[in-house]
């Protein structure tokens, strides 16, 4: 016999929504957005300090704010939201009950206690060790304890996700293979397990070191294992936001992937190889061989990049196929021109896809090449790259799907629709600017995590080129734009969740529009067409940009090391 569970039927998609899963999605999403707001504020303070003419914070506060910013947005906001995505992609998409809601709540509690504990440790001022907390810099013990508790909670959440897959299969809530969105979430959960295990392996001894029970932690071993957590945690994001792209394409257009099999193979590339990109943080370490570096960051990572490029073709291709099937067949781009650009779920998703590919993706491959990595290793190019992946890519995608979750899961009408329409553009272009100008400054040699780029109190003076100052100023201006976009998001979502018109059980939301075809999100199946000339053109432009930028960086390298 199956167990009792309490559900409602979604009037829009017809899916059964387990109320336990629904409440967990709400709780995780709300806490995620609170930490996004906190972490985003710290990020603005960091950007204003790195703006040479403003130089807002004193040095000690700068490093405190940078530590809090990194932890709150790179780990807490993202992982809380990913828990919401995992519960949505398992229980809701599979029409199933959630396995072990009590375990899920325990995990949620541990994550919350851990996040607050680490934030308290940072705000007390004795743990300004950056998100990476490289040894031999030592933080307060409760800094490490908080991260460990957070990780254990997230691991419980992953366990509940796997359990729900088992329950759904056993209770036959779906037929055949799991839908692609759930497969993407599965990929994220698998990478999360590796990430959390790596974190435990290195942070538990570091906690013991901080309380005096372990005498020494080798810095290079720490760095190697820490990045298995630190970089892989960002690969959870990649898998999760690609799943979100497919989900939004299905829910807004009823789009099916061009080929389920090929998209699933692309996710398999992530499962096998994406975590190996962690090695790019160690490309300048003399203690590790070129074989290890090149295998991990080039041969293996390129297979994961191949996966991303398949998704980069498949998602817009699926949208184009769905639009063309509705008669939008004029020319190459009628399907794109007549896409719902005033729907923040779509506009946010599409900008996330473009920025992730053009900014985060291309720069990631450049940084993963051992030789040209040396031009920008540990410069502000690195945060420029990951603001392109994690913020313009992941955060924008998560913001986009939130505009669907508010009416469908929170059952509230979206308020302030005009602000909601503009929000993805303000935030997206703000973050794209941050990424591009940080990368520009990094190419000119500006170091990351540095309070004063003028080196005002240095014994040996050093000047960056004037263009580097311009880049950092533009970075500050675009950070303000992104912060305005972030505030718009928080105002719309928090306002709607608490004060939006309540939707009756059988009432469909008026905005954003979710068509009945959105049920495609919960089905396995392909559109099985390659009549996607517009997408082919977009992908061709991407390849040209990719090749040009890659070789431009080799040209830069040749100028750093003149050979004649």
Partner 1 sequence: MSENNNVDAPTSEEAPEPEDIPMMQRLLDNPFVLLVLGIAVPAVFYIIWGIIEITQIPIAD
Considering the rule CB under 8 A, would residue 288 count as an interface residue with partner 1? yes
How is residue 496 written in tokens?
A: 């709607």
Instruction: Scan for tokens 């400054």, then name that residue.
Output: 441
Q: What is the C-alpha separation between 340 and 233, in angstroms, rounded?
A: 32
Q: Using alpha carbons, list the distances in angstroms from residue 26 to 40, 407, 456.
A: 21, 12, 48
Q: How far is CA 8 from the centre of its chain?
A: 30
Does 540 participate in binding partner 1 (rule CB under 8 A)? no
Q: Distance between CA 493 and CA 254 in Å, rounded?
A: 24
The answer to whether 501 contacts partner 1 (rule: CB under 8 A) is no
For partner 1, which residue of 35, 81, 144, 194 counts as binding (CB under 8 A)? Answer: 194
Between 167 and 474, CB nearer to partner 1: 167
Which is nearest to 512 in space by CA: 394, 355, 341, 333? Answer: 341
- CB-nearer residue toward partner 1: 271 or 426: 271
Q: Which two tokens stand for residue 165?
A: 């897959």
Q: Within 258-287, which residues bind partner 1 (CB under 8 A)?
A: 261, 264, 268, 271-273, 275-276, 278-279, 282, 287
Q: Between residues 119 and 198, which has the closer beta carbon with respect to partner 1?
A: 198
Give every CB contact of residue 562 below 8 A, 6+ residues apart in sequence: none
Q: Which stretch binds partner 1 (CB under 8 A): 177-185, 350-358, 394-402, 447-455?
A: 177-185
Residue 236 as a binder of partner 1 (CB under 8 A): the answer is no
Q: Is the dihedral of CA 475, 476, 478, 482 positive or negative?
A: positive
- Give me the least distance between CB of 408 and partner 1, in Å please: 13
- Of 121 and 186, which has the nearer Cβ to partner 1? 186
> In Å, how far are 94, 172, 253, 254, 526 from 520, measured between CA atoms?
12, 18, 9, 6, 10
CA distances from 480 to 66, 416, 474 (A): 16, 21, 10
Q: Least Å distance between CB 471 and partner 1?
A: 33
Residues 205-234 that bind partner 1 (CB under 8 A): 218, 220-221, 224-225, 228, 232
Q: Spell out the residues 6+ positions from residue 247 whose beta carbon is closer than 8 angstroms to its own.
A: 89, 93, 181, 401, 521
Show the tokens assigned to 429.
């272009």
Distance (Å, whole) CA 129 – CA 126: 8
Per rule CB under 8 A, is residue 183 in the interface with partner 1? yes
Which is nearer to partner 1, 263 or 369 (by Cβ)? 263
Q: Are 17 and 8 in contact (CB under 8 A)?
A: yes
Closer residue to partner 1 (CB): 242 or 434 = 242
User: Minimum distance between the CB of residue 512 and partner 1, rounded to whole angstroms?
Assistant: 20
> What minimum distance in Å lies between the beta carbon of 283 and partner 1?
12
**Per-residue x/- marks for partner 1, 1-40, CB under 8 A?**
xxxxxxxxx-x-----------------------------
Nearer to partner 1, 268 or 477 (CB): 268
Task: Give me the DSSP letters along 354-370.
Answer: HHIIIIIIHHHHHHTSH
Closest alpha carbon to 403 in 340, 315, 483:
340
Binding mask 242-261 for partner 1 (x = CB under 8 A): -------------------x
Applying CB under 8 A, among 25, 190, 436, 439 the residue interacting with partner 1 is 190
| Helix H or strand E segment including 18 | strand 16-18
178 binds partner 1 (CB under 8 A): yes
Q: Which is nearer to partner 1, 505 or 559 (CB)?
A: 505
CB neighbour burial string for 72-82, b if at least 16 within 10 angstroms, e if fewer: bbbbbbbbbbb
Does 525 interact with partner 1 (rule: CB under 8 A)?
no
Nearer to partner 1, 186 or 244 (CB): 186
* Residue in this structure with the two tokens 């599979």, named with its chain if needed: 94
How many chain residues bind partner 1 (CB under 8 A)? 56
- Minimum distance between the CB of residue 193 and partner 1, rounded to whole angstroms? 6
Instruction: Give the 3-state DSSP-derived string for 167-182, with helices as H, strands as E and coil as C.
Output: HHHHCCCCCCCCCHHH
DSSP state of 505: T
- List the one residue out of 347, 341, 491, 482 whose CA is nearest residue 424: 347
Q: Is 170 in the site for partner 1 (CB under 8 A)?
A: yes
Give whichever of 193 and 490 is closer to partner 1, judged by the CB atom. Answer: 193
Stretch that binds partner 1, among 52-60, 111-119, 168-176, 247-255 (CB under 8 A): 168-176
Site for partner 1 in 82-141 (CB under 8 A): 97
Q: CB-wise, 190 or 426, nearer to partner 1?
A: 190
Identify which of residues 275 and 314 has a Cβ nearer to partner 1 in the complex. 275
Q: Of the candidates 165, 203, 258, 520, which one interacts with partner 1 according to CB under 8 A?
A: 165
Does residue number 340 form part of the binding site for partner 1 (CB under 8 A)?
Answer: no
Judged by the rule CB under 8 A, the positions of this chain that interact with partner 1 are 1-9, 11, 97, 162, 165, 170-173, 177-178, 183, 186-187, 190-191, 193-194, 197-198, 218, 220-221, 224-225, 228, 232, 261, 264, 268, 271-273, 275-276, 278-279, 282, 287-289, 292, 295-296, 300, 504-506
């Amino acid at each position: 016999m199956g167990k009792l569970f309490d559900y409602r039927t979604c009037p829009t998609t017809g899916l059964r929504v387990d109320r336990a899963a629904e409440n967990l999605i709400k709780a995780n999403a709300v806490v995620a957005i609170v930490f996004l707001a906190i972490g985003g504020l710290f990020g603005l303070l960091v950007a204003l300090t790195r703006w040479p003419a403003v130089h807002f914070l004193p040095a000690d506060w700068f490093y405190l704010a940078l530590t809090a910013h990194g932890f709150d947005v790179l780990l807490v906001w993202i992982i809380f939201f990913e828990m919401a995505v995992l519960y949505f992609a398992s229980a809701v998409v599979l029409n199933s009950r959630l396995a072990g809601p009590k375990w899920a709540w325990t995990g949620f509690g541990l994550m919350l206690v851990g996040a607050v504990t680490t934030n308290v440790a940072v705000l007390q001022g004795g743990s300004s060790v950056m998100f990476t907390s490289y040894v031999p810099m030592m933080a307060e013990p409760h800094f490490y304890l908080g991260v460990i508790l957070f990780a254990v909670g997230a691991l419980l959440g992953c366990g509940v996700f796997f359990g729900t897959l088992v329950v759904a299969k056993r209770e036959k809530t779906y037929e055949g293979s799991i839908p692609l969105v759930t497969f993407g979430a599965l990929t994220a959960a698998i990478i999360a397990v590796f990430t959390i295990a790596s974190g435990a392996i290195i942070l538990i001894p570091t906690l013991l070191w901080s309380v005096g029970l372990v005498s020494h932690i080798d810095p290079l071993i720490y760095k190697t294992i820490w990045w298995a957590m630190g970089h892989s945690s960002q690969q959870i994001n990649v898998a999760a936001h690609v799943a979100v792209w497919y989900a939004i394409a299905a829910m807004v257009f009823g789009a099916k992937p061009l080929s389920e099999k090929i998209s699933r193979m692309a996710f398999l590339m992530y499962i096998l190889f994406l975590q190996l990109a962690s090695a790019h943080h160690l490309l300048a370490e003399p203690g590790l061989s070129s074989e290890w570096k090149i295998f991990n960051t080039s041969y293996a990572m390129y297979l994961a990049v191949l996966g991303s490029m398949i998704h980069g073709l498949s998602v817009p291709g699926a949208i184009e196929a769905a639009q063309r099937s509705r008669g939008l067949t004029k020319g190459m781009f009628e399907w794109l021109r007549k896409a719902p650009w005033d729907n923040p779920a779509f506009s946010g998703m599409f900008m996330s896809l473009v920025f992730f590919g053009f900014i985060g993706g291309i720069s990631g491959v450049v940084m993963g090449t051992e030789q040209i990595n040396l031009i920008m290793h540990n410069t502000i190019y690195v945060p420029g790259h990951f603001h392109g992946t994690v913020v313009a890519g992941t955060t924008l995608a998560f913001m986009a799907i939130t505009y669907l979750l508010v009416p469908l899961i929170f059952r509230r009408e979206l308020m302030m629709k005009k602000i909601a329409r503009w929000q993805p553009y303000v935030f997206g272009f703000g973050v794209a600017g941050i990424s591009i100008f940080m990368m520009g400054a990094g190419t000119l040699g500006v170091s990351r995590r540095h309070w004063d780029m003028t080196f005002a109190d240095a014994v040996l003076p050093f000047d960056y080129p004037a263009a580097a100052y311009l880049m950092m100023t533009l970075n500050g201006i675009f950070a303000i734009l992104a912060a305005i976009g972030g505030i718009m998001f928080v105002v719309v979502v928090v306002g709607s969740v608490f004060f939006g018109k309540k939707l009756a059980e059988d009432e469909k939301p008026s905005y954003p529009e979710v068509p009945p075809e959105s049920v495609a999100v919960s089905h396995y199946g392909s559109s099985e067409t390659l009549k996607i000339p517009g997408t082919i053109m977009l992908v061709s432009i991407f390849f040209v940009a990719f090749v040009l930028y890659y070789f431009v960086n080799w040209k830069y390298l040749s100028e750093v090391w003149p050979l004649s």
